Amino acid sequence: MGEIVVKRTKPSIIKQQFGISLVEVLASIVIVSIVSSLVYSIVIKSNDHYNNQYDKNMELSDISYKLKLLTKEIRKASDVNYLSPNSMDLVIESSTTTFYYDSSAKTLYKDSSVYINNVEKFVLTPNSTHPNKVSIISIEIINDKLKDSIKTKIIVRSGDS
């Protein structure tokens, strides 16, 4: 009867090695450093973008709030008049509040304190029946942080117009 011959072969070189070589360690470190630098740059850019958007939103919110308060004061007033002919001074009679626009400084003042900066246009349109009264107030604000200008038009309500 035939004998079964089992032939022994040498184990391969790969099976005899255990652990990691220096080249593999260096390759792993390089890959990890590349991935971590990409993640870091994404996080930094995202944080910068967030801060930029936050500043813009706060500026827009602040301007909108001040314009809303101006509108509210005008709506509560019994009369909205010019302080003097050919002026851009606005008198709101119910609360004896005066708004003054300085075109050279592009600033709107409320009772001699700064109310809104960067006011590009502040136009008071006279009432057709009462020339010393204001019927429309147009305001345009240009801000450095905001790319677009903010425009509003306030129509003064009065019972005798």
How far is the CA of 130 from the CAs of 58, 76, 86, 158, in angstroms?
39, 19, 14, 11
The radius of gyration of the chain from alpha carbons, rounded to an integer in Å, stands at: 36
Of these ranges, 5-19, 22-36, 132-146, the one predicted with the greatest mean pLDDT is 22-36
pLDDT of 11 over the 80 cut: no
What residues contact residue 103 under an 8 Å CB cut-off, 6+ apart?
A: 88, 122
Q: Would residue 92 count as lying in a domain? A: yes
Confidence class for position 4, pLDDT limits 50, 70, 90: confident
Number of domains comprising the chain: 1
The pLDDT of residue 9:
67
Asked whether the whole model's pTM tops 0.75, one would answer no
The two structure tokens encoding residue 151: 């425009």
Residue 20 falls inside a structural domain? no
Model pLDDT, residue 38: 98
Q: What is the pLDDT of residues 46-103, one digit of tens each?
A: 999 999 999 999 999 999 999 999 888 888 877 787 776 666 667 776 667 788 888 8
Choice among 4-8, 21-25, 40-44 with the minimum mean pLDDT: 4-8
Average pLDDT taken over every residue of the chain: 83
Does 140 score more than 80 pLDDT? yes
Q: Is residue 45 part of a domain?
A: yes
Count CB neighbours of 118 within 10 A. Answer: 19
Domain-embedded: residue 128: yes
What average pLDDT does range 125-130 have in this prediction? 82
* Residue-number span of the structural domain to which 138 is assigned: 25-155
pLDDT for 40: 98
Residue 11, domain member (yes or no): no
Other C-beta atoms closer than 10 Å to the C-beta of 77 total 20
Output the pLDDT for position 125: 84
